[in-house]
């Protein structure tokens, strides 16, 4: 089992490459398609995913794609099952395995989906998936996140990660401290530190092999509605400081989520982390959904004649984020590319 996991890590930790999150549930995909006045059907969701997954030479920038269950059984315009298409390009197919969020009485949310996970993983494996992803969320307000949700999410993420590794699937562990709110970057830093500490304590307790795990965290960033929002250098500096304090060096890769940042912000922040002149013990890259997809979605508008423009927009963001993983991105590339 270990050699299988090691090979997947090797294929997913590649300098200059990152992960595309294309794992929106039907509900979220419907919201995204509504923003371009396109009806959400199985076919329009397939068409949309086909634009990104079939984009020419996308494998230069991506080492993995997180898929939603529905996409596993869908085919590209050329008639190839999407996981097969990705594998053919040398991109590792993965799958979102959490069952979404459920409300708790105090207004916080936990993640569903542990029941029957092992059996589902066996099925996903047959479809070609080699890694999985599970997302837990933490909201910042005066009373949240509560110690109880920090503990519960950490334990569930750890159980999920252990089950994945037992089935030869690399777990992506995604604790997302939400950007919504008026909080300061310092508050976000405090919360992120507590959350990550609890997650790694739980992973260790559950005997999860850290060197065969990928972390998908949020960045340390000011609340979206905050009056004073920290600049790029501060976000990069505080994020790396917090990660160094809480994450063991044997973790192979940290792939950030974009969490509501604009595409340009998400790229600039990642790039700045690589220009801090600090040694980073792990590979630091991206696993963006919105920050990679937004320009493509807006260019497509649900119309066939816009597919080339949508693919161009998608490849541009993928390339700029690839450059950011090496600290080689600059703002003027936004105009020239
Ligand atoms: C936080 O969401 C993840 C990363 O996306 P962003 O880069 O846009 O923040 C993403 O993988 C998310 O987990 C999926 O889109 C699935 O979301 P839902 O809400 O449909 O389960």
88-115: per-residue pLDDT in tens?
999 999 999 999 999 999 999 999 999 9
**Ligand 1 centre and the CA of 110: distance in Å?**
15
| 156 C-beta closer than 6 A to ligand 1 | no
Of the residues 174, 176, 294, 319, only one is catalytic, namely: 174
Where residue 337 falls among pLDDT bands split at 50, 70, 90?
low
In this prediction, residues 222-241 reach a mean pLDDT of 98
| 23 C-beta closer than 6 A to ligand 1 | yes
What are the pLDDT digits (tens) for 128-169? 999 999 999 999 999 999 999 999 999 999 999 999 999 999
User: Half-sphere exposure (CA, 13 Å, Cβ side) for 80?
Assistant: 13
Task: Pick from 257, 260, 262, 285 the residue to mutate for probing ligand 1's pocket: most ligand atoms within 8 Å of its CB.
Answer: 257
**Ligand 1 centre and the CA of 21: distance in Å?**
7
How confident is the prediction for the chain on average, in pLDDT?
98
Atom of ligand 1 nearest to the CA of 292: 7
The CATH number of residue 242's host domain is: 3.20.20.70
* Residue 216 appears among annotated catalytic residues: yes
Of the residues 133, 216, 294, 319, only one is catalytic, namely: 216
* Residue 294 appears among annotated catalytic residues: no
| 257 C-beta closer than 6 A to ligand 1 | yes
For residues 40 and 251, what is the distance between their CA atoms, to the nearest angstrom?
Answer: 38
In this prediction, residues 79-96 reach a mean pLDDT of 98
| 30 C-beta closer than 6 A to ligand 1 | no
Q: How many structural domains are present in the chain?
A: 1
Judge whether residue 336 has pLDDT over 70.
no
Helices (H), the chain: 2-12, 26-34, 42-53, 69-72, 82-88, 117-126, 147-166, 185-205, 232-246, 263-273, 290-300, 307-324, 333-336
SS (H, E, C) 79-117: CCEHHHHHHHCCCEEEEECCCCEEECCCCCEEECCCCCH
Residue that is written with structure tokens 């395995």 in the block = 97
Domain membership of residue 247 as a residue range: 2-336
Atom of ligand 1 nearest to the CA of 98: 21
**Ligand 1 centre and the CA of 277: distance in Å?**
30
Judge whether residue 44 has pLDDT over 70.
yes
In three-state secondary structure terms, 294 is helix
């Amino acid at each position: 089992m270990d050699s299988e996991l090691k090979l997947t890590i090797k294929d997913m930790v590649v300098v200059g490459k990152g992960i595309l999150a294309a794992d929106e549930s039907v509900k979220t995909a419907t919201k995204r398609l509504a923003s371009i006045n396109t009806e959400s059907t199985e076919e329009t969701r397939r068409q949309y995913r086909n634009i990104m997954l079939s984009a020419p030479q996308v494998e230069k920038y991506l080492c993995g794609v997180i898929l939603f269950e529905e996409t596993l059984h869908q085919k590209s315009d050329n008639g190839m099952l999407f996981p097969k298409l990705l594998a053919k390009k040398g991109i590792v197919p993965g799958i979102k395995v959490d069952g979404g969020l459920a409300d708790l009485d105090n207004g916080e949310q936990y993640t569903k989906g542990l029941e029957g996970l092992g059996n589902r993983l066996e099925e996903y494996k047959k479809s070609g998936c080699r890694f999985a992803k599970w997302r837990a969320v933490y909201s910042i307000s005066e009373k949240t996140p509560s110690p109880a949700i920090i503990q519960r999410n950490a334990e569930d993420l750890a159980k999920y990660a252990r089950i994945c590794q037992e089935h030869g699937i690399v777990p992506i562990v995604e604790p997302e401290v939400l950007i919504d709110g008026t909080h300061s970057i310092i508050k976000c830093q405090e919360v992120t530190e507590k959350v990550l500490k609890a997650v790694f304590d739980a992973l260790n307790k559950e005997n999860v092999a850290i060197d065969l795990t990928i972390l998908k965290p949020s960045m340390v960033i000011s609340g979206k509605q905050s009056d004073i929002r920290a600049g790029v250098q501060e976000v990069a500096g505080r994020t790396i400081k917090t990660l160094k304090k809480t994450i063991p060096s044997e973790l192979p890769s940290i792939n950030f989520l974009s969490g509501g940042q604009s595409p340009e912000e998400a790229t600039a922040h990642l790039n700045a982390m690589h220009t801090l002149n600090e040694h980073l013990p792990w590979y630091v890259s991206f696993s963006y959904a919105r920050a990679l997809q937004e320009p493509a979605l807006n260019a497509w508008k649900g119309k066939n004649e816009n597919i080339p423009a949508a693919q161009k927009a998608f490849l541009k963001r993928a390339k700029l984020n690839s450059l950011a993983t090496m600290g080689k991105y600059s703002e003027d590339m936004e105009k020239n590319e």
